[in-house]
Structure 1
């Protein structure tokens, strides 16, 4: 059978199944399992006869969504909260991985703009960070403690205040995606310009390494989480711009639901970053170099693994998962 004929023959069935999956429109587990079996058969057929077709990607993603529904109806299902972070979010990140990649590309591009702007305009850092902050930082550098600002306030006060602020930034970055993604890009642009000019300022004052040791102890998770939250905002914007076969409203609801799940998944990392900034960063100038570097690498490794590597492992496990029969549900 030609690929065009294969798609035409099964298109309505796939779209109906996709709609039912997203709207939880299944009367019983038997119906879901039966549809899932048909879907896996279509996927296997496509992989055999059309190995380079985009329809394989589509069916793979749809099968992953179906598996989540089946997984949640199994009698021996584990705690829903654990399943959310262990299976559901990684599958979403795999399905929308291109948005995460694009968010990181934009992040590095905007940060680079901040660096270049600070390097070519002596007043740029002051215009971005403000005279008070720059003057305070210069005083701290002269005293031999470039990141002394992180020592102000109490441990708990800093932790709570910083965490609330970071949660607010992440929520705003996501919600602003409703403006076709432009709002999210604006939030990302502002934060990246600040980051780039901020780091160049310390580089120019010959205390770059000291700033890295202090800032990125908490910044690895904090900044990474914000990029993921911006990716969620871009997903929201894309759901409005590119509804595909769905109505724009239905597509928007799907995009919002997906984005909110990604946003929620970043919150533990945001709390961890706030804890590190409130309780650990303030001691960066007195701790051994190997310890500060280890904290940076470990925190960066954990969040990178979860969003960039672990989703591929979960997706691979699911594609290799034997099809469940109705009797197993």
Structure 2
């Protein structure tokens, strides 16, 4: 470029220079205007490829214009055009609302959809744990105390009478439901974060935690089923459990994605595989925190206000269907493709 600059001054003037390069400036200005009015997603693949080339060409034009002392109006125009292009290419987004909308419509559901294989594995582990614990506790109730700590059971154990268990399902008159919801949110969030974080240890601790979560679920169902209250307990659990269990399963899936990237990076370096997996997993877990907030509200308030088994089960089923459509309907179209 320096040779061109040295040779150009005797031959250049503002009108000739503008005529030679104005098409590039105009196209760059047009592309920037479309991005600023809407977003970069409106550009075609050809426009996206051309954008950095046009930016560099305009920077070169600005350099020539300054060194050859062309008119100030042209230099000011090129400076402004280069500044706009720089902020679109390298600057932060000019709209927090746009970023938030993109997270909910693309980032979050797309990240979860891309984890569908890991999510299926974690769901199978949860169901397997539930079946095993159910069978063990129904065969020998003493297994219950080896699976669920006494404090967590809260009196819902094999020694409780059918009437006492029924009371916990339909006649819970606790006050401060909002405080209770906050407590449950913190508890469930800890399980989800641990399931995600333990994935770094080659997935095994994450798998064991998810399996244990299923064991606790199966053990509790067995206690109520033994007193003829199995369907009632499942309905009581469903109003929040479909959202909560799904969130924990997704957290485990995110941890599994991290762990498998470390253990089996493929053709990439281990660090490159970890960065790629970590980006998707982190977005998914950020959404999981929101899911757990919804579950806490349903568990701390809705579950105790709604006492009809049919309505409880209906709310739980509707929530599960909504999450499935959100993730695997909307999200499937925006799922990031794994790097080779």
- TM-score interval w.r.t. the shorter chain? 0.5 to 0.7
> Is it true that 1:86 corresponds to 2:108 in the alignment?
no
Q: 1:48-197 maps to which residues of 2 (within 5 A)?
A: 79-131=98-150, 136-137=155-156, 139=160, 141-143=162-164, 144-147=166-169, 151-152=173-174, 154-197=176-219
| Residues 34/115 of structure 1: CA separation in 2 closer, same or farther (3 Å cut) | same
Rounded Cα–Cα distance in structure 1 between residues aligned with 2:203 and 2:171: 34
Rounded Cα–Cα distance in structure 2 between residues aligned with 1:148 and 1:290: 13
From 274, 284, 298, the counterpart of 1:252: 274
> Is it true that 1:296 corresponds to 2:316 in the alignment?
yes
Structure 1 residue 206: deviation in Å? Answer: 0.7
**TM-score for the superposition, normalised by structure 2:** 0.66
Structure 1 residue 31: deviation in Å? Answer: 9.0
Query: Who is 1:306 aligned against?
Result: 326
| Residues 121/310 of structure 1: CA separation in 2 closer, same or farther (3 Å cut) | farther
CA contact (8 A) 2:115 2:254 kept: no
Rounded Cα–Cα distance in structure 1 between residues aligned with 2:172 and 2:192: 21
| Residues 148/125 of structure 1: CA separation in 2 closer, same or farther (3 Å cut) | farther
| Residues 77/132 of structure 1: CA separation in 2 closer, same or farther (3 Å cut) | closer
Rounded Cα–Cα distance in structure 2 between residues aligned with 1:135 and 1:86: 40
| Residues 218/267 of structure 1: CA separation in 2 closer, same or farther (3 Å cut) | same
Structure 1 residue 139: deviation in Å? Answer: 4.2
Match of 1:136, SS? coil
Rounded Cα–Cα distance in structure 2 between residues aligned with 1:35 and 1:175: 41
Give a deviation string over 1:148-206, Cα, whole Å, max 9, x none: 69654521110110001111111111000000011111211211111111111111111
Structure 1 residue 270: deviation in Å? Answer: 0.6
Query: Who is 2:238 aligned against?
Result: 216
Structure 1 residue 96: deviation in Å? Answer: 3.0
| Residues 154/250 of structure 1: CA separation in 2 closer, same or farther (3 Å cut) | same
| Residues 74/268 of structure 1: CA separation in 2 closer, same or farther (3 Å cut) | closer
Rounded Cα–Cα distance in structure 1 between residues aligned with 2:96 and 2:153: 54
| Residues 151/161 of structure 1: CA separation in 2 closer, same or farther (3 Å cut) | farther
CA contact (8 A) 1:235 1:259 kept: yes
Match of 2:167, SS? coil
Rounded Cα–Cα distance in structure 1 between residues aligned with 2:155 and 2:222: 16
CA contact (8 A) 1:150 1:281 kept: no
Rounded Cα–Cα distance in structure 1 between residues aligned with 2:292 and 2:210: 16
RMSD (Å), alpha carbons: 3.3
Structure 1: state its 5+ residue gaps. 1-28, 37-68, 320-329
**TM-score for the superposition, normalised by structure 1:** 0.68
| Residues 75/283 of structure 1: CA separation in 2 closer, same or farther (3 Å cut) | closer
Q: 1:32-47 maps to which residues of 2 (within 5 A)?
A: 33-34=48-49
CA contact (8 A) 1:140 1:147 kept: no
Structure 1 residue 97: deviation in Å? Answer: 2.0
Structure 2: state its 5+ residue gaps. 1-43, 52-87
From 199, 205, 210, the counterpart of 2:227: 205
Query: Who is 2:293 aligned against?
Result: 271
Structure 1 residue 298: deviation in Å? Answer: 1.4
Report the number of matched residues. Answer: 254
| Residues 141/225 of structure 1: CA separation in 2 closer, same or farther (3 Å cut) | same
Rounded Cα–Cα distance in structure 2 between residues aligned with 1:32 and 1:178: 40
